Structure 1
Amino acid sequence: MRLKRVLIALVSLVVLAGIAVGVVTGTFGGWARSGLEATGLYSDGGASSLVPGGLGASASASTVSPTPSGAGPSAPAAPILKPVLAAATPAAKPSAAAVTKLINGVDRKGVGDAFSGTVIDVGTGAVLYQHKATTGFIPASTMKLLTTTAALSLIGPDHRFTTKVVAPTSGSIVLVGGGDPYFASKSGNGKASVPALAKRTAAALKKKGVRTVSLGYDASLFTGPAWNPTWPSFYADQVSKVSALSVDEGRVTGFSPGPRVPDPPAAAAKAFAAALKKQGIAVTKTSKTKAPSGAALVASVDSLPAERIVELLLMASDNDAAEVMFRQAAIAAKQPASFDGGRKAVHDRLVKLGILDSSVRIVDGSGLSRNTRVPADSMAKALRVASEENHPELRGVITGLPVAGVEGSLRIRFFDPKASAGRGLVRAKTGTLSKVHSLAGVVRAPDGSMLAYAFIVNNPKNEWNSIVWLDRVTASLVRCGCRG
């Protein structure tokens, strides 16, 4: 036991050392991450640090193994560490007055009255704080919470999207996009890839004695405009033209923000043709086409599960993947796979889940449009529903939330001294546009209360102050004696 205590103490020192070094040098992600991994606060790749079974399940810690009746005392078991966000239970009944007092005590300098805010007790559903809670505000990327909630509800967490090659005639093949947002130019990380599909395709063709083909490409799964008319042209480094067939999300360098290819399906076909050449298959020409129904399947690759896609999407605030999942939600709802179909599919599913407020106006899936309007109430409701035991299909919405000061879009947040309590404990989705800043997520208060919250700031007097306020106000919930 003395050795275990020493190890636990060392882990704690690693975490504290990482935080201290990060504050001074910005290297917190490198130093602190290993310590956070050891404590269960962080896991590489954005995987869940929540206890399996969901936030609604009860959790307990035990240090002694149970002793069968009539048996002698058993040896002490290793301590079971509590998860960063332990289970929420209906028994926890926080006080609205206590939460409101805590939030109102955070200086609103530069923010004033220009925000929509809600805090909900996950265990009971009780509203603990409201400020313009049902008034629609521009949400920016927190819109992705509603998109992914609806998409997982419609599609299911285990569903995979298939990219395939079919052969309409001998010597002719067609690359058919299945709407995999993470179809990649290189193999690895479990993603479907161009090399893997080319290798399978080449093997199947060679088996039939075929070594020269013409290549068509079919991205017809999605319909309607590929660019939302409410997006300004200068967003071209933030999001690609939406397509059911693209490689590396249509990004030239693989990173975002950054340059995008002008025609994602054509670029995907070009990459596939090059990969086929490496496998000994010559491609005589490449052209846009539509694969005839009933064409023989040559080869295929499947995407990551939808739940994992959602986790990656939320962790990085991925506009491209969000727009693809918006259209996949439309397909699952039997709507056209367009912006209009996505709007209807997400709207109707949120109504069914009891999430939608009347002020919600959905324009896209990523939140890039300034025409979208969402109140904080809908955001917090979505997080509460995703946390419930009876909605395990939505768990990816919670596990995909970045941890403050550690990973994803929150890696460089919560370093203000008055917000530092939130590092490693707050989980949230960010939202940022000009004059728009938002934060929505979940946090476990020290008194056992599990809270879902959302704050959306529009047109603040000072944008930097609004970001600091969001960090401070959510970090304040970490210190909440909410039952007081």
Structure 2
Amino acid sequence: MGRDLRHSRRWSVVHWLPPLLVLALLAAGVGAYRFEWGQRYLPGLAADPVTEPEQVLAPAGLDLPEWSPPVDDAVALDPATALAPDRVAAAVGDDLADPDLGRHVVGAVAALAPGSPEWTSGDGRYLPASTTKLLTLGAALEVLGPDHTFTTRVVRGPGPRDVVLVGGGDPLLASRSLTLAEAESTYPARADVTTLALDVAAALGGQGRVRVRFDDSLFTGPTDNPAWRRDYVPDDIVSPITALMVDGGDEPDSDLKADEPSLAAARVFADALSAAGLRVTGQPRRVVAPPGAEELAAVESAPLSEVAERILDVSDNEGSEVVAHHVGLATAGAGSFEAGAAGVLTTLGGLGIDVTGAELYDGSGLSRRNRVSTATLIDLLQHAAGPDGDAMRSLVTGMPVAGFTGSLTYRFAEGPAVARGVVRAKTGTLTGVHALAGIAVDREGHALAFVFGADRSPPDERYDAQEALDRAAASLAACRCTR
């Protein structure tokens, strides 16, 4: 009842106070960002995560040469090129010393070859915020495989007229199918419960009475992470996490989150069954599907490699938490926050990635208890880009591109312009916390892995702190930092 009442109060002002609300929340220190948060009410700040990353057109008058295939004698750059620590320090030192970053700043840079020497600054251990998603998705790609898909099913229930919607933990399950125009600009493809309802109606002959039941028992434990701030779920910063969610737990046509995402998904499914010609009686209820029940229909997600790219691009908190639960299922047989976080570290450690001192409590990076070292992120990026990292390659391809895509669309406005298009990085933002981890291509054409983090930054210097990290990454792109 408390959350329902809170929702009704917020609806009474949401149409005339959004910008003021955001400013008040930021001033008060609200600490989590959904796709780096601000664009929910100030859409000019970033691309819209509810739709797709923005298309960025080439500047007017730009004359591009005709494309031609590479010549047969093209020589690959040597990934083992030696890093020049003194040049790295000269390139990024002033930016990382910016007082807007606060009292605790860490940095690390290395060539992409696994095991390459690193340049480091600070003590190395930091609060990773959303750069945590790199760890979560890297572990998921490794343990599940890049071709893994998630299936949402409908089976016959315990009663003669019961149909059971069974959640398979699809991170991108949608409420409805896309129009042709939407499908052309949407990546990756989405499974949806409306299509599932049409298939069920066809399997049942298109008529008759049914009762809708739903099964979200794939995941266990709390749906609100105990390691999150207590207001994150009640204030709709992140949805409760279940195995049956549509539209990331969003309520239809709203900026609010559903109190019970599984029930909300079942209601959408029931409405779609009615629209398909079936007579739906009663309200959806939670059950456990009978073992071996007859399957009436199923829909399947895009491959995990594509799902991971989407989650990274727009910093999807709900999606990364769902994926982390799958890591827990694969490594410990439990789809929970605790098992997922433990499974991520176990999986990465098994690959030789240095997880010394790492503490993870979630899969998205919303928890302020998380701590990792810059070495962990550097090792992960080197592995994902290296010869043994085929399973994790989506970490590289999915990171936002500076000045062009995802959570970096409107960043890198300052600093060397050469960074735009040649820096790929995952952002991380909480109140007083800023992080950037990714790959920059320097002036010699050598790819460098980097991690920059500041977790004691003055909250009122948020944008200046972000710009300082952007300048540091841009300085790498402008640097001749290898010998």
Q: Same-fold call, TM > 0.5?
A: yes
Judging changes above 3 Å, is the alpha-carbon distance between structure 1 residues 87 and 373 closer, same or farther for their aligned structure 2 residues? farther
Q: Which of the numbers 158, 176, 179 marks the counterpart of 2:166?
A: 176
Q: What's the offset of the Cα at 1:353?
A: 1.8
Q: What's the offset of the Cα at 1:270?
A: 0.4
Q: Which residue of 2 aligns with 1:289?
A: 287
Q: What's the offset of the Cα at 1:133?
A: 5.1
Q: Which residue of 2 aligns with 1:67?
A: none
Q: Which residue of 2 aligns with 1:275?
A: 272
Q: What's the offset of the Cα at 1:388?
A: 1.0
Judging changes above 3 Å, is the alpha-carbon distance between structure 1 residues 133 and 320 closer, same or farther for their aligned structure 2 residues? same
Q: Which residue of 2 aligns with 1:52?
A: none
Q: What's the offset of the Cα at 1:78?
A: 5.7
Q: What's the offset of the Cα at 1:253?
A: 4.6
Deviations 1:243-280 (A, max 9, x none): 0001111112567xx31011101111100000001111
Q: Which residue of 1 aligns with 2:7?
A: none
State the alpha-carbon separation in 2 of the partners of residues 268 and 351 from structure 1. Answer: 36
Give me the TM-score of the superposition, normalised by structure 1. 0.80
> Are 2:100 and 1:102 equivalent residues in the alignment?
no
Q: What's the offset of the Cα at 1:87?
A: 6.0
Judging changes above 3 Å, is the alpha-carbon distance between structure 1 residues 88 and 294 closer, same or farther for their aligned structure 2 residues? farther
Structure 1 segments unaligned to the other structure (5+ residues): 1-25, 42-62, 64-76
State the alpha-carbon separation in 2 of the partners of residues 78 and 475 from structure 1. Answer: 27
Q: Which residue of 2 aligns with 1:196?
A: 195
Whether the 8 Å contact between 1:94 and 1:121 is mirrored in structure 2 is yes
Q: Which residue of 1 aligns with 2:383?
A: 385
State the alpha-carbon separation in 2 of the partners of residues 88 and 440 from structure 1. Answer: 22
> Are 2:232 and 1:223 equivalent residues in the alignment?
no
> Are 2:284 and 1:261 equivalent residues in the alignment?
no
State the alpha-carbon separation in 1 of the partners of residues 162 and 118 from structure 2. Answer: 62
State the alpha-carbon separation in 1 of the partners of residues 464 and 276 from structure 2. Answer: 56
Whether the 8 Å contact between 1:139 and 1:438 is mirrored in structure 2 is yes
Figure out how many residues of one structure are paired with residues of the other and give that number: 414
> Are 2:92 and 1:93 equivalent residues in the alignment?
no
Q: What's the offset of the Cα at 1:308?
A: 0.8
Name which one, 1 or 2, has greater alpha-carbon Rg.
1
Q: Which residue of 2 aligns with 1:153?
A: 142
Q: What's the offset of the Cα at 1:358?
A: 1.8
Deviations 1:279-326 (A, max 9, x none): 111111221111011111110000111111111100000000010000
> Are 2:401 and 1:403 equivalent residues in the alignment?
yes
State the alpha-carbon separation in 2 of the partners of residues 381 and 351 from structure 1. Answer: 10
Instruction: Report the more deviating stretch, 312-321 or 96-105.
Output: 96-105
State the alpha-carbon separation in 2 of the partners of residues 358 and 283 from structure 1. Answer: 54
Structure 2 segments unaligned to the other structure (5+ residues): 1-43, 48-52, 184-188
Q: What's the offset of the Cα at 1:95?
A: 1.7
SS of 1:110 mapped into structure 2: helix
Instruction: Report the more deviating stretch, 112-121 or 399-408.
Output: 112-121
Q: Which residue of 1 aligns with 2:39?
A: none
SS of 1:234 mapped into structure 2: coil
Amino acid at match of 1:92: T
> Percent of counterpart pairs with the same letter?
37
1:29-108 aligned within 5 A: 33-35=56-58, 79-80=68-69, 89-106=78-95, 108=98
Structure 1 segments of 4+ aligned residues over 6 angstroms from their partners: 26-32
State the alpha-carbon separation in 2 of the partners of residues 275 and 88 from structure 1. Answer: 54
> Are 2:482 and 1:483 equivalent residues in the alignment?
yes
Q: What's the offset of the Cα at 1:113?
A: 5.1
Instruction: Report the more deviating stretch, 174-183 or 94-103.
Output: 94-103
Q: Which residue of 2 aligns with 1:21?
A: none
Judging changes above 3 Å, is the alpha-carbon distance between structure 1 residues 473 and 198 closer, same or farther for their aligned structure 2 residues? same
> Are 2:132 and 1:134 equivalent residues in the alignment?
no
Whether the 8 Å contact between 1:191 and 1:304 is mirrored in structure 2 is yes
SS of 1:173 mapped into structure 2: strand
Whether the 8 Å contact between 1:112 and 1:460 is mirrored in structure 2 is yes
State the alpha-carbon separation in 2 of the partners of residues 31 and 165 from structure 1. Answer: 35
State the alpha-carbon separation in 2 of the partners of residues 114 and 105 from structure 1. Answer: 15
Q: Which residue of 1 aligns with 2:323?
A: 325
Give me the TM-score of the superposition, normalised by structure 2. 0.80
Whether the 8 Å contact between 1:115 and 1:455 is mirrored in structure 2 is yes
Instruction: Report the more deviating stretch, 427-436 or 330-339.
Output: 330-339
Judging changes above 3 Å, is the alpha-carbon distance between structure 1 residues 78 and 297 closer, same or farther for their aligned structure 2 residues? closer
